[in-house]
Amino acid sequence: MIKEIVTMDPRRVQLSISWVALMLIYLLGDVLRLYEKGQAAGFIDGKPMTQTHLMMAALMMLIPILLALGMVFLPQGLAKWSGIIASLILFIINVIGVAGYSSLFDRFLICLSLTLNVFNLVWTWLW
């Protein structure tokens, strides 16, 4: 078991760390948005967030977390295609949502996350 960990494919570790970094970027944006909006943080377009909104946000945040684990524990073929599909899905979601962010830090973090999604996609494809 220890030998397997020591001799793990470096690409698996790199991709796992990259997915953790993406999740942290998303989390950083969410935390900063809470500070920026204060009491209005629980609202989207002036309407209170619903359980559906919160569940969708949780599922979106769960994707990079699961991929970080998947890159280490799944068989290479499944990890590769999961990473490619997840990168595409997250990229599309963020491109669609980018117009809804007005803050400079939000736009910066979204651009950074889009760049990291492209990196994850290419790096996984080349694996």
- Name the region of 54 (left: φ>0; alpha: ψ -120 to 50; beta: rest): alpha
**What does pTM read for this prediction?**
0.78
3-state secondary structure of 90: helix
Each residue's pLDDT tens digit, 7-44: 788 999 999 999 999 999 988 888 887 777 666 667 77
Q: What is the pLDDT of residues 58-112, one digit of tens each?
A: 898 899 999 999 999 999 999 999 999 999 999 999 999 888 888 888 889 999 9
